[in-house]
Amino acid sequence: MADGAGKLSWKCTLSFSTLICRYKHIQSAVVKQVQNLASSLCKATPGKFLLVQFAMSQVTQIGESISNLINQVNVMVNMAVRNQKGQ
């Protein structure tokens, strides 16, 4: 998208509900992978274990990122409230 000056401009919106919804979907997919692997241990290979372990660590990292984002928003809201009290 180019504006009148030839510069690119982007508009992106992200809602917490969309973010949490997508996270729950990814988390459910990983849970299914773990269940499938656990239900057929005799067919499990080291590679499958590594893939599931990698997927689990990704879900953990995404969850921590969402938690950090929520914490940052909470800090911003608290600072805004504190600044309003001083006026």
Extents of the domains making up the chain: 16-85
Of 6 and 12, more confident: 12
Residue 54: band (very low, low, confident or very high) from pLDDT cuts 50, 70, 90: very high
pLDDT of residue 63: 94
Q: In degrees to the nearest 10, what's the CA dihedral of 36, 44, 53, 15? A: -30
Average pLDDT score, the chain = 88
- From residue 46, alpha-carbon distances to 13, 20, 35, 51, 55 in Å are 40, 31, 16, 9, 14
pLDDT of residue 5: 64
Two structure tokens written together for 29: 């997919």
pLDDT of residue 31: 96
Q: Is the CB of residue 28 less than 8 Å from the CB of residue 56? A: no
Strand boundaries in the chain, DSSP class E: none
Residue 15: band (very low, low, confident or very high) from pLDDT cuts 50, 70, 90: confident
